[in-house]
């Protein structure tokens, strides 16, 4: 676990291919933006972001990844250097 607050938490796992799986969990009733900072994840530089469940490339992020997550929902992305 990277971080937990009363309204959200962030999980991350380094994968064998050098990418990182990132789970953004919203524990609140309302949609809210959940973020993960590269410093928390021990990452550097620009990362390609792919939404794992939708099987779509989201774009690129540098330094932080933030996304709106519906209430009581999860977003799972893969960060690739």
Cβ atoms of 19 and 13 within 8 Å: the answer is no
How confident is the prediction for the chain on average, in pLDDT?
97
pLDDT-derived band at 70 (thresholds 50, 70, 90) equals: very high
Structural domains present in the chain: 3-80 (2.60.40.1180)
- Which two three-digit tokens encode residue 73? 């929902």
**Exposed/middle/buried for residue 42 (C-beta within 10 Å: 0-12, 13-18, 19+):** exposed
What CA–CA distance (Å, rounded) separates 43 from 74? 21
This prediction has a pTM of: 0.95
Q: Classify the phi-psi angles of 55: left when phi > 0, otherwise alpha if psi is within -120 to 50, otherwise beta.
A: left
What is the tens place of the pLDDT at every residue in 25-37?
999 999 999 999 9
pLDDT-derived band at 51 (thresholds 50, 70, 90) equals: very high
């Amino acid at each position: 676990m990277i971080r937990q607050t009363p309204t959200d938490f962030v999980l991350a796992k380094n994968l064998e291919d050098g990418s990182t799986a990132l789970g953004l969990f919203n524990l609140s009733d309302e949609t809210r933006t959940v973020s993960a900072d590269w410093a928390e994840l021990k990452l550097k530089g620009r990362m390609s972001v792919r939404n794992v469940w939708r099987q779509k490339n989201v774009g690129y992020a540098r330094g932080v990844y933030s996304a709106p997550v519906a209430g009581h929902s999860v977003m799972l992305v893969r960060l690739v250097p």
